[in-house]
């Protein structure tokens, strides 16, 4: 939709990978709609995933005993976080929709993306206490996880060997995104792209592109335990 701003936080090392293709499809389709699309290509940026005292550029509030959460909160209020964090926070702040594009690592995000979440979504920027869940500071924004898996859809079903895919979405969608106030759109999961035919991969890309055509009309999921775990 013209005038909308989208941030794609992209975590894959190889531009020609299937993740790279999914990212490109999103950039192309959303740009065609007149959206402004920004990509944070974390590996290409050599993004620092470690949360350390180097993230604060001013004096620590308690140099005797280092607490990252406390110091990041203070630095956020004083606008003294390092520039790489502030740059990402600005991109999030300006976005109407944030898409996370990544391969599933151990039922979770790759370390570089976990580090992005740890460092960028700090207290004072993304939430406060109180000031989380429906009152999170990123309320009014949409978030969407676009994930590729090694396992098949069958493996990620309730009766499958890995259990329902919604189980591994709980910490990411509910514990992180919803906590910060995002409205969460249904995930886009491309199951086992490396084990299907070229035709099926093309189909996955086409269905992502198709979905993005009407993405602004979608309703967010009800981000509560029953959606993930049943009644």
pLDDT digits (tens, 9 = 90+) for 130-144: 999 999 999 999 999
Separation CA 212–CA 118 (nearest Å): 28
Separation CA 53–CA 59 (nearest Å): 10
Per the DSSP assignment, residues forming a β-bridge with 190 are 148
- What mean pLDDT, rounded, does the chain reach? 97
pLDDT digits (tens, 9 = 90+) for 53-71: 999 999 999 999 999 999 9
User: How many C-beta neighbours within 10 Å does residue 181 have?
Assistant: 20
Confidence bin at 167 (pLDDT 50/70/90):
very high
pLDDT of residue 1: 86
Q: Are 8 and 39 in contact (CB under 8 A)?
A: yes
- Integer-rounded Cα Rg, in Å, for the chain is 18
CATH of the structural domain 5-229, one choice from 3.40.50.360, 3.30.230.10, 3.30.540.10, 3.30.565.10: 3.40.50.360
The C-alpha torsion from 179 through 185 and 186 to 192, rounded to 10°, is -90
Across 49-87, b (16+ Cβ under 10 Å) vs e yields: bebeeebbeeeeeeeeeeebeebbbbbbeeeebeebbbe
Cα dihedral sign, 211-212-215-221: positive
Element (H, E) at 100: strand 97-103
Confidence bin at 2 (pLDDT 50/70/90):
confident
Separation CA 15–CA 169 (nearest Å): 25
User: So where are the chain's domains?
Assistant: 5-229
Confidence bin at 158 (pLDDT 50/70/90):
very high
């Amino acid at each position: 939709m013209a005038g909308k701003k989208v941030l794609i936080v992209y975590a894959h090392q190889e531009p020609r990978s299937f993740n790279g293709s999914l990212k490109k499809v999103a950039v192309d389709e959303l740009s065609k709609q007149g959206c402004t699309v920004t990509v944070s290509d974390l590996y290409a940026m050599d993004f620092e995933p470690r949360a350390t005292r180097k993230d604060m550029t001013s004096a620590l509030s308690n140099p005797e005993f280092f607490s990252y959460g406390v110091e990041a909160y203070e630095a956020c209020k004083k606008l003294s976080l390092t520039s790489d964090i502030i740059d990402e926070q600005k991109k999030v702040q300006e976005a109407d929709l944030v898409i996370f594009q990544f391969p599933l690592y151990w039922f979770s995000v790759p370390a570089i993306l976990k580090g992005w979440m740890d460092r960028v979504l700090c207290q004072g920027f993304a939430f406060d206490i109180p000031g989380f869940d429906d009152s999170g500071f990123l309320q009014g924004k949409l978030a969407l996880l676009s994930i590729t898996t090694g396992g098949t859809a069958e493996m990620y079903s309730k009766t499958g060997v890995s259990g329902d895919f919604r189980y591994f979405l709980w910490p990411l969608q509910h514990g992180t995104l919803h906590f910060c106030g995002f409205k969460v759109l249904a995930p886009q999961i491309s199951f086992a792209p490396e084990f299907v035919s070229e035709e099926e991969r093309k189909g996955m890309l086409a269905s992502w592109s198709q979905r993005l055509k009407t993405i602004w009309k979608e309703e967010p999921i009800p981000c509560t335990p029953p959606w993930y775990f049943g009644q």
